[in-house]
Chain A
Amino acid sequence: MARGLSPIVARDDVEATDTADVTGESPNGPVPASTPRTVGGLADESPAPSRRGNRWSGVLGQSRGALLAAISLALFIVLWHILTHNRLPLYVRFNNVPSPEAVLTRILAVSKSRAFATDVLLSCRRIFLGFGIAAIVAVPLGMIMGRFRLARELVFPLVEVFRPIPAIAWVPMAIMIWPSNEESIVFITFLGSFFPILLNTLSAMKAIDPVLIRAARSLGASEGALFREVYFPACLPSIFTGLAVGMGVAWVSLIAAEMISGQFGIGYFTWEAYSLVEYADIALGMISIGVLGLLSSALVRLLGYALMPWAR
Chain B
Amino acid sequence: MLNLLKSRTPDRTPSSLSVRNRDLGHIAIEDVSMSYDTMRGPHQVLAATSLDIAPGEFVCLLGPSGCGKSTLLNSVAGYATPRTGRVCVDGAPVTGPSPDLGMVFQQYSLFPWKTVRQNVAFGPRMLGRGEPTPEAIADTFIEMVGLSRFANRYPRELSGGMQQRVGIARALATYPRVLLMDEPFGALDSQTRHVMQESLLNIWSEFGITVLFVTHDIDEAVFLADRVVIMSASPGRIIADIKIDLPRPRDGDLDVDERFLALRKQCLAHIRAESRKAFEQQNR
Contacts and interface: CB of A to CB of B under 8 A. Distances in A.
A211 B77 CA distance: 13
A212 B193 CA distance: 23
A300 interface: no
A189 to B, nearest CB: 30
Contact of B77 (A45, A218, A220, A311): A218
Given A6-B275, A214-B103, 18 more contacts: A4-B64, A5-B275, A8-B64, A12-B193, A16-B192, A18-B160, A38-B146, A39-B1, A39-B144, A40-B145, A41-B198, A42-B146, A45-B195, A47-B157, A51-B156, A215-B103, A218-B171, A219-B99
A44 B191 CA distance: 13
Interface string A12-24: 1011111011100
A38 B188 contact: no
Interface string A201-218: 000000001011011111
Contacts, number: 174
7 contacts: A12-B217, A21-B188, A40-B145, A42-B146, A47-B153, A211-B107, A218-B97
A8 B157 contact: no
Interface in A170-227: 209, 211-212, 214-222, 225
B192 A45 contact: yes
B154 interface: yes
A308 interface: yes
B204 to A, nearest CB: 10
A201 B281 CA distance: 48
A288 to B, nearest CB: 37
A149 interface: no
Interface stretch (B28-36, B44-52, B108-116): B108-116
Given A7-B64, A44-B149, A310-B154, A220 B127 contact: yes
B160 to A, nearest CB: 3
Given A39-B1, A229-B122, A219 B202 contact: no
Given A16-B187, A20-B159, A42 B276 contact: no
B123 interface: yes
